[in-house]
């Protein structure tokens, strides 16, 4: 093809039809998941939407780095870095995940309903089930970043500052597996609760308050009924304590008793499996609630 004379160029090619391949439903699903992840972290959004999610992530990473650095700088004076079970089973870490879920899950779900964008999404080749699942996967992936990156960083620091990094990794591979499993379970747990609760409100603030409220109320109810009372079968009520449930599963996964010793006013003898099944049941219930809400929702 010859070059146009005198630097002439085509400005407007007119409307072009698309003759290429149209990708399927799986592609649309992952587009929605990717969109949820970028939205959750405030990417290509105003600065105010980026601050809190990044702050929470950096706080979790910062806590690990500061503890390890302080210990390495002054091994005698500073406290030793926490064990993996101590780190993941810590109430502050659970609170961090809960805050992140309360911040991001409403942001993923509420504006789409309030601004009626669902009418456009449901007119695209995706189903309501795909939409709800994609939002849950996005939320869980974001939480996975928070529940995996800091403990893996702790693992890497421990390996780095041990006498033999490769030896440490070889000796603690099982810990790495437990870290991965704990991270996935915690991400799914807080993701399912966050999305399920957020599906009941169009307003972000109401949904965020409801998520935190649900965790506080169940935590209080579980502690009072399960640990404070002594009627037959009272101990099953500790499974209602959604604040503590993931930490108890994590402790059990790392070979510790699910309930910290001396904590319970009346003896709790539930096996770790009971906590794990309770956690999976909560994840299932959250997913079921989310799908049910979106199946009934008007577009």
Scanning 73-81, 94-102, 108-116, 232-240 for contacts with other proteins by CB under 8 A, the matching segment is: 108-116
Nearer to other proteins, 83 or 127 (CB): 127
Q: Distance between CA atoms of 62 and 55, rounded to whole angstroms?
A: 10
Q: Helix count (H) and strand count (E) of the chain?
A: 11, 0
Q: Does 27 bind other proteins (CB under 8 A)?
A: yes
Q: Is the distance from CB of 134 to CB of 32 less than 8 angstroms?
A: yes
Q: Does 227 bind other proteins (CB under 8 A)?
A: no
To other proteins, the closest distance from the beta carbon of 293 in angstroms equals 17
Mark 196-205 as b/e (b = at least 16 C-beta within 10 Å): bbbbebbebe
Among 55, 124, 216, 224, indicate the residue that binds other proteins (CB under 8 A): 124
Among 4, 47, 123, 231, indicate the residue that binds other proteins (CB under 8 A): 123
Q: Using CA atoms in the order 158, 161, 162, 163, what is the torsion angle rounded to 10 degrees?
A: 170
How far is CA 127 from each of CA 26, 99, 130, rounded to the nearest angstrom? 11, 30, 5
Q: Distance between CA atoms of 49 and 251, rounded to whole angstroms?
A: 34
Number of residues that bind other proteins (CB under 8 A): 35
Q: Distance between CA atoms of 95 and 211, rounded to whole angstroms?
A: 12
To other proteins, the closest distance from the beta carbon of 205 in angstroms equals 16
Scanning 44-52, 138-146, 161-169, 239-247 for contacts with other proteins by CB under 8 A, the matching segment is: 44-52
To other proteins, the closest distance from the beta carbon of 298 in angstroms equals 9
Q: Distance between CA atoms of 103 and 97, rounded to whole angstroms?
A: 10
φ and ψ at residue 130, rounded to 5 degrees: -60, -40
Among 97, 112, 249, 250, indicate the residue that binds other proteins (CB under 8 A): 112
Nearer to other proteins, 8 or 12 (CB): 12
Q: Distance between CA atoms of 272 and 285, rounded to whole angstroms?
A: 20
Q: Does 133 bind other proteins (CB under 8 A)?
A: no
Contacts of 219 (CB under 8 A, 6+ apart): 241, 242, 243, 244
The token duo for 235 is 């101990």
Among 62, 75, 91, 125, indicate the residue that binds other proteins (CB under 8 A): 125
Nearer to other proteins, 1 or 13 (CB): 13
Nearer to other proteins, 121 or 161 (CB): 121
| 3-state percent helix, strand, coil for the chain, nearest multiple of 5 | 70, 0, 30
Nearer to other proteins, 26 or 267 (CB): 26
Q: Distance between CA atoms of 172 and 170, rounded to whole angstroms?
A: 6
Q: Of residues 3-22, which lie at the interface with other proteins (CB under 8 A)?
A: 14-18, 20-22
Q: Does 108 bind other proteins (CB under 8 A)?
A: no
Nearer to other proteins, 114 or 174 (CB): 114
The token duo for 142 is 């974001």
Q: Does 24 bind other proteins (CB under 8 A)?
A: yes
The token duo for 290 is 């989310």
To other proteins, the closest distance from the beta carbon of 35 in angstroms equals 6
Q: Does 25 bind other proteins (CB under 8 A)?
A: yes
Give the residues lining the site for other proteins (CB under 8 A): 14-18, 20-25, 27-28, 31-32, 35, 44-46, 49, 111-112, 115-117, 119-127, 299
């Amino acid at each position: 093809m010859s070059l146009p004379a005198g630097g002439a160029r085509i400005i407007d090619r007119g409307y072009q039809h698309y003759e290429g391949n149209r990708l399927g439903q799986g592609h649309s699903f992952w587009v929605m998941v990717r969109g949820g992840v970028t939205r959750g972290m405030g990417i290509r959004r105003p600065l105010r939407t980026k601050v809190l999610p990044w702050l929470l992530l950096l706080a979790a990473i910062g806590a690990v780095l500061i503890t390890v650095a302080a210990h390495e700088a002054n091994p005698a004076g500073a406290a030793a870095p926490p064990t993996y079970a101590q780190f993941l089973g810590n109430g502050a870490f659970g609170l961090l995940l809960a805050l992140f879920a309360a911040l991001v899950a409403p942001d993923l779900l509420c504006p789409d309903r309030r601004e009626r964008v669902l009418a456009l999404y449901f007119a695209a080749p995706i189903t309501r089930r795909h939409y709800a699942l994609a939002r849950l996967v996005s939320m869980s992936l974001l939480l996975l970043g928070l529940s995996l990156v800091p403990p893996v960083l702790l693992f890497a620091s421990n390996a780095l500052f041990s006498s033999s990094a490769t030896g440490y990794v070889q000796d603690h591979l099982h810990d790495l597996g437990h870290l991965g499993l704990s991270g996935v379970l915690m991400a799914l747990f807080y993701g399912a609760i966050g999305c399920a609760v957020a599906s009941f409100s169009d307003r972000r603030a109401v949904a965020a308050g409801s998520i935190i409220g649900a965790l506080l109320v169940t935590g209080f109810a579980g502690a009072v009924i399960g640990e404070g009372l002594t009627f037959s079968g009272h101990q099953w009520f500790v499974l209602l304590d959604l604040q503590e449930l993931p930490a108890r599963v994590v402790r059990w996964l790392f070979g510790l008793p699910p309930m910290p010793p001396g904590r319970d006013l009346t003896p709790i003898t539930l096996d770790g499996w009971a906590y794990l099944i309770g956690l999976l049941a909560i994840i299932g219930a959250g997913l079921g609630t989310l799908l049910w809400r979106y199946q009934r929702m008007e577009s």
